[in-house]
Structure 1
Amino acid sequence: MAGTRRAFAFQAEQHRPDAATLLTGEQLRERGILTLRALEYVAPNLTIQSINGTASTNFYLRGLGFNDFTQSNMGPVLAYYDDVPYAYSTMATGMMFDLANVTVMPGPVGTEHGQSDTGGEILFHTNDPTDSFHAGASEDMASYARSRSEAYVSGPLARGLSFRIAGQVQKGGGWQTDPLNGAHLGDADLWALRAKLKWQLDSRTTVMLTGHVVQDDSEVVGGIPIHRLIGSAPLPTVGWTQTEWSLRPQFASLIGRKAGLKPSEHDWFWGADLNIAHDFGFATLRSISAFETMREQEYTDQDATAQAQADTYRTIDSNAFTQELRLSNSDAAARFQWAIGAFYQRTRMNQRFFFDYTDYLPARGYMQASTFGLNEEATSEFAHVSYRLPHDVKLFGGLLHEIDDRGITGMQSEIFGGRTKNFHGENTAAAQFAGQVGVSWQATQNVLVYYKMSKGFKPGGFTANNTQIQAQLNPFKPESVLTYELGFKSDLIHNVLRVNGAAFYNDFHNQQILGTILIPDFGPLSQLTNVPKSESWGFEGTVDLHVLRHVFLTQNFGWQRGTFQDFPTVNRAATNAYYAAHHVWKAINDNFAGVNNGQPKLTLNGQVEWRQAISQSYGIEFGPNWVYRDAQALTPGGTGFYRLPPYFLLGAHVTLHPVSEKWQITLYASNILNRHYYTTGGQATTTYFYIPGAPRFIGGRISYGF
């Protein structure tokens, strides 16, 4: 009967020694988590920020991450779709549909599968083909003419052969206007398609072929200027749902786009992967081959005014090939568990950045383009073992060795109507070990306690945006971290109370971060650099409570602190202040030793839901959800407008469905209190700007499946 108790999900995962946050596809739909960035609202200590309101994103997990506008370096947190790592987070645009589940895994990874990383991984698993015929569709319509449509069809084709095709379309939803002319900004215009073909050759061999394509022509979210860094002209006065932008006809002609183009994407993503598994009896061999392509064209107005002081257009052509081979024992009940494997990645990327500085006078007053290529190749070998001792004590450990070689080529900086600078290529290579050791104890049938130490490794790279001098191409060093983690998982009262928690300490060496350098007669520019020594610590956890028959509560909590122990750099705030007072660029050097790393200290999110049968045939579910995110420094040591204010958001939903759950009708609201808040910020040239978050949305969703 609808409204009766439901078991907590992911029972088997309660016996694994990790701090993963796991969510079913149904849970994501209930909370309205339909985009990559929204995942930070359902996991602790996770931050996913759009770059200047665009489809490109930066990940931070337990405070570990960095801001890479070019998206040409591997991030500290990787996204995977069906075991395929996406080298660049932008490739994951438009892929969050027809999902089975999502796992957010914090801490160093790479000894059990895939690619090594220091911060963790987000694993997306999409629905597989089914042996019987199924189909379904949903339509979601909300404020600001936003619509999201999804559909799937799945079933057998022949004996041992089945398929699944799923797709989505997103339209509208733009809530910003230009106060100068009333123009509208922010509408989505995206479609995506995924197809899977499963071939069960025999009882031991499975072949899965997957292909996907995404086209994204969505408009971006414009910024709100917060502070004028250079010059004396007053900033435009705009409301919370307003933004200014401009595109001069000369710049439109230069980039080959139509006049009147709004800040927007024009992106194609497509790829295919082949996943083959064969059980030899004593062990299972899995091969995962994948090819991913990204074609991105993106226009943004990075001064957030009608002036042409930092209008930017960039093109990215990128290809990535990955191959993983993994052999693991087949008996999941055996005392001794083992896995060995190898991973290979090869990427090729070409980027071109166009800048319109025409109104940035007297310092620049020109249009400029920067062009570069990036070649990268990495190989790693890994092994992981565990052994279960008497009294349910388990020892486990893993080892990984990785070689990474990457180089930047063809860097050119051209001022149209002026000089052209060519820079020689740079290369960087690294070969390091990473690993993990730990112990877990299944104290009771429902309580697991564990401790582990993990060393993570991430290769170095380059800062390639707006290059003015050769020194800007000096590579930054590889990053490593030693993480200590103590945690527990418990179903204290079966199907009534679940409490999971973990405490961690990260000891960083050469942590990669977006710092600042000063170019003489040009100004401060962002530069990816290394912090010689830093640390962070904190805890996180989840409480699931089902004391009352109809009430289900979930609360995630995360708390973290971190400090730079040795970080010599240019103090951007002080350097900008000196220029404002003296009209001369002078680097104000500082060491941020003892300064907080600036990541949100406290993150809270959760929901409470009442599930009630209203008859023998129908049930209803309703309740609120909430999010709190603490303040975040946007530059190292940032205070004042360099610190993003904290915010609290409240949402709610009510769903009607039959006992069979073949169909659902949902009414929902997000940001019910219509809070004014900001999701990220940055500086391009003359202004410091914030990217605002969405206002109140009220909508409805209807779905049907059989």
Structure 2
Amino acid sequence: MRRRNEFVTASNRHATKPGAHSASSRSETLTVTVGRHHFRFNAAQHEADAATHVTGETLIRQGVVSVLDLPRIAPNMTVQSVNGTGTTNYFLRGVGLNDYTQNNMSSVLVYYDDVAFPLARMASGLMFDVASASVDPGPVGFEHGQTDTGGEVSFRTADPTAHWQTGVTQDIASRARSRTNMFVSGPLLGETLAFRLAAQTMHGGGWQYNPANGDHLGDADLWALRAKLRWRPAEKTEFMLTGHWVQDDSQAIGVKPVINFLPSRPYPDLGYQQAAWDYRQAFSKLIGRSPGLKPGAHDTYWGADLKGSHDFSFATLRSISAFETERVGEYTDQDGTAWATGNNYRNIVANNFSQELRLESRKKTHLQWTLGAYYNRVRMTQQSYFDFTDYVPTRGYMQETSFGQNQQTFSQFVHMRYRLPFHLRLLGGLSHEADDRQLLDLRTVQFGRRALRFRSTGANMNQFSGTLGLQWQPVDRFMGYFKVSRGVKPGGMTANNTVVQGQLDPFKPETVLAYETGFKADIVPGRARLNAAAFYYDYHDQQYIGTYVVPGYGPLGRYQNIPKSELWGVEFSTEITPLRHVYLTQNLGYLRSKFLDFQAVNVSAVNANYTRTGIWAPIYTDYAGTGGMNPKLTLNGSGSYRHRIVKNYEAEAGLDWNFRSAQPMTPGGTGDYQLPAYFLLGAHITMHPLRGPWTATVYASNILDRQYFTTSSQSTTTYFRIPGPPRFIGGRVGLTY
């Protein structure tokens, strides 16, 4: 059982929140002879939060290989692609920002190995060689990183090992889909210097095709590399240098048109796995790409970070310096037709530098404290090209919108835990953040018509946030808590397809006052674990991508603030071993939300009026009392049966499931403006020797071959939905020494 036990040890040492010291990997020689029969992440059971923790092994077993798959393992979580692009938005408990241009900070921060990614797209392609992952909802930023309103998603990738290890995994599935992962790790200079090199490639898997010519769409083409070098010059000092590179030339998923706002152009009648798109030669010359380009990406991401720590006995000083960059070139056909009415090509060049310093007290004291500061600086330029040639008589031209943006954030934070009598612990944290953003030199050129230039604009924030709570741990197996937290998130600017100055008006920071209570209980040690939380959010100035109707031009996206809304709900997570060899997990999230003060353009009414009259005009609706735009119910879990089939071999058969209720995609959205509910089921069978180096798996995702949709939106002449993948059947073989 040596191989499996070493993995358990690696997973447990990464079971902490961002900010935990990687030097804990010195425990990697520990042997846990029956670790697989015990629950993992035991330390997290003593934290006053509702975080979900999973191991890298669990992610692979349940087919979670992309951030879009994360809602399968956490309650009240939504992760959606924007308009079929590589831009991804995260929502936790209904808090999130739909940011197509990615020039604003996400409401849910992504971390890799303690490094924050304020621009979520910069983390693309990094989800490989993962040791563990955690999803932490609610206001954050009081102990590490940057303040935020929605929460954070944190990944721990595998560290260098004290002994030589190497491994490769090959995954082949339907539609020529291939995923290859490999790593090599070991010491270079005894215990002083060690390294790890990991890589991933993904190819094929395209499941859509164009019925007009048979071309298929959706193939992956991704290469990624990560290298780590750990240096321990002294017993209490450690440095970790990490670098990564990602090249992503994957094709996009084509959109499925639902509503046509341009009756003069006939709509395609498409089946579920069919897609339509077009690409004109004149547009290819304008953007400088080759003829025959399919919707997809040509993106490069790379970065490096240096983490250092030194134990001064009374406290540990940690430093995290990081530089991340992205070079994005992406073409999408956002009308889903053969007409040039909504074709878009984006160039993004951006970089982010961040620096964090943190001083942490010793753990086993009555008073524990963390004191730190965080700084990040972003420089960005973007160009968005549009082909509206067939969008006549309203437009009928090609267009370019370009801009630059500078941003910097500086925050300071302090957090304390104080042990009181009667098994109580007082928790408190305070953060101050100053944020400055400047949108510069935005211009729009309508080729053959006119050139528009706009005044530069900016958004500033200078606010405090904090948390206060009480934790009660009467016995080791039960912990209850109550806390109140205030989260803040900076404002920003809209910067896409701009034709009037009013689109650039900055939107304000948002704030969340969150009340949360919960408990964590190992009801029967090693057999039954139940964690639960209930929450209420008083949400002010919620940032929302609304609709701005330009007469004679049409509806365009513009960020606005919803003055007041509320969210409340419950979450349950359980792990049960009811019978020998049987292992069950189940997450449940129930979320209700309501707008209390909100007036905005009614998208469906505007579209209906245009269909009837041919005139674009704003129509406003008071949405006070209307429910929010989130699924009310999420259910996900897994069940497996593991048994030794012969003396030296073990087999596992398992199922995993995911249910999401209907989701309104516009305020008060019904009918086509609501995503239908769906239920997905996966299955796997795995076999491996107890002491051997290999493992073999056959699996199926969406085994019932359900037709469902992951998100929807509107672009020029079309309201569309994006379909989810059909059934995939595959096999995976791994070899580790």
Following superposition of structure 1 onto structure 2, how do residues 250-265 of structure 1 map, counting pairs within 5 Å? 250-265=282-297
Over the aligned positions, Cα root-mean-square deviation in angstroms equals 1.1
What amino acid is the match of 2:453? N
1:498 equivalent to 2:529? Answer yes
Contact 1:515 1:636 in 2 (8 A): no
Contact 2:458 2:493 in 1 (8 A): no
- 1:578 and 1:54 mapped to 2: Cα distance? 29
Q: Partner of 2:84: helix, strand, or coil?
A: coil
TM-superposed CA distance for 1:587, in Å, is 1.2
What amino acid is the match of 1:510? D
1:304 equivalent to 2:330? Answer no
1:195 equivalent to 2:227? Answer yes
What amino acid is the match of 1:162? A
Match of residue 546 from structure 2: 515
What amino acid is the match of 2:235? S
What amino acid is the match of 2:86? A
Match of residue 647 from structure 2: 616
Number of aligned residues: 705
Match of residue 335 from structure 1: 366
Q: Partner of 1:385: helix, strand, or coil?
A: strand
- 2:672 and 2:64 mapped to 1: Cα distance? 29
Match of residue 245 from structure 2: 213
Select between 471-480 and 512-521 the one with higher mean Cα deviation: 512-521
TM-superposed CA distance for 1:548, in Å, is 0.2
2:64 equivalent among 26, 33, 38: 33
TM-superposed CA distance for 1:517, in Å, is 1.3
Match of residue 687 from structure 1: 718
Q: Partner of 1:521: helix, strand, or coil?
A: coil
TM-superposed CA distance for 1:92, in Å, is 1.4
- 1:597 and 1:555 mapped to 2: Cα distance? 25
What amino acid is the match of 1:240? Y
- 1:167 and 1:68 mapped to 2: Cα distance? 29
Contact 1:408 1:425 in 2 (8 A): yes
2:658 equivalent among 627, 635, 647: 627
Match of residue 8 from structure 1: 39
- 2:723 and 2:467 mapped to 1: Cα distance? 40
Match of residue 604 from structure 1: 635
1:540 equivalent among 571, 592, 597: 571
Match of residue 16 from structure 2: none
- 2:220 and 2:541 mapped to 1: Cα distance? 39
1:132 equivalent among 148, 163, 177: 163
Match of residue 377 from structure 2: 346
- 2:108 and 2:346 mapped to 1: Cα distance? 24
Per-residue deviation, residues 139-167 of structure 1 (Å, max 9, x unmatched): 00000000000000000111300000000
Match of residue 469 from structure 1: 500
What amino acid is the match of 2:213? N
- 1:233 and 1:99 mapped to 2: Cα distance? 47
- 2:167 and 2:550 mapped to 1: Cα distance? 57
- 1:223 and 1:520 mapped to 2: Cα distance? 27
1:423 equivalent among 454, 464, 469: 454
1:162 equivalent to 2:194? Answer yes
TM-superposed CA distance for 1:585, in Å, is 2.0
What amino acid is the match of 1:289? S
TM-superposed CA distance for 1:531, in Å, is 0.2
Select between 634-643 and 11-20 the one with higher mean Cα deviation: 634-643
- 1:583 and 1:416 mapped to 2: Cα distance? 24
- 2:692 and 2:461 mapped to 1: Cα distance? 53
1:291 equivalent among 310, 323, 334: 323
Contact 1:52 1:222 in 2 (8 A): no
Match of residue 205 from structure 2: 173
2:411 equivalent among 364, 371, 380: 380
- 2:560 and 2:294 mapped to 1: Cα distance? 33
What amino acid is the match of 1:173? G
2:555 equivalent among 501, 505, 524: 524
Match of residue 151 from structure 1: 182
What amino acid is the match of 1:151? M
TM-superposed CA distance for 1:234, in Å, is 3.6
Match of residue 185 from structure 1: 217
How does the TM-score come out when normalised to structure 2? 0.95
TM-superposed CA distance for 1:466, in Å, is 0.5
Per-residue deviation, residues 545-594 of structure 1 (Å, max 9, x unmatched): 10200100000110101011111111111111111112222211111111
1:642 equivalent to 2:657? Answer no
- 1:155 and 1:333 mapped to 2: Cα distance? 32
Q: Partner of 1:614: helix, strand, or coil?
A: strand
Per-residue deviation, residues 218-261 of structure 1 (Å, max 9, x unmatched): 00000111111333544211110000000000001110000010
Match of residue 302 from structure 2: 270
- 2:369 and 2:578 mapped to 1: Cα distance? 39
TM-superposed CA distance for 1:18, in Å, is 0.5
TM-superposed CA distance for 1:390, in Å, is 1.9
- 2:616 and 2:708 mapped to 1: Cα distance? 33
- 2:119 and 2:689 mapped to 1: Cα distance? 42
1:57 equivalent to 2:57? Answer no
Per-residue deviation, residues 455-507 of structure 1 (Å, max 9, x unmatched): 00000001111101011101000000000000100000000000001001110
Contact 1:294 1:319 in 2 (8 A): yes
- 2:600 and 2:396 mapped to 1: Cα distance? 29
What amino acid is the match of 2:260? R
Match of residue 326 from structure 1: 358
Match of residue 414 from structure 1: 445
What amino acid is the match of 1:310? G
Task: Report which structure shows greater RCO (CA 8 Å, sep ≥6).
Answer: 1
1:247 equivalent to 2:279? Answer yes
Per-residue deviation, residues 490-532 of structure 1 (Å, max 9, x unmatched): 0000000000010011101100011111111111111111000
- Structure-2 change in CA distance of 1:661 and 1:560 (3 Å): farther
Match of residue 118 from structure 2: 87
Match of residue 257 from structure 2: 225
Match of residue 402 from structure 1: 433
What amino acid is the match of 1:378? T
Per-residue deviation, residues 408-442 of structure 1 (Å, max 9, x unmatched): 00100001111000101001111000000000101
What amino acid is the match of 1:16? E
What amino acid is the match of 2:59? L
TM-superposed CA distance for 1:661, in Å, is 5.5
Per-residue deviation, residues 343-366 of structure 1 (Å, max 9, x unmatched): 001000100000000001110000
- 2:477 and 2:221 mapped to 1: Cα distance? 47
2:390 equivalent among 356, 359, 368: 359
TM-superposed CA distance for 1:103, in Å, is 0.7
Gaps of 5+ in 2: 5-32
TM-superposed CA distance for 1:107, in Å, is 0.2
- 1:254 and 1:295 mapped to 2: Cα distance? 19
Match of residue 660 from structure 1: 691
TM-superposed CA distance for 1:214, in Å, is 0.1
- 1:660 and 1:507 mapped to 2: Cα distance? 54
Q: Partner of 1:118: helix, strand, or coil?
A: coil
- 1:454 and 1:660 mapped to 2: Cα distance? 48
- 2:133 and 2:520 mapped to 1: Cα distance? 19
2:98 equivalent among 67, 91, 108: 67
Contact 2:265 2:339 in 1 (8 A): no
TM-superposed CA distance for 1:450, in Å, is 0.3
How high is the sequence identity, in percent, across the aligned residues?
A: 53
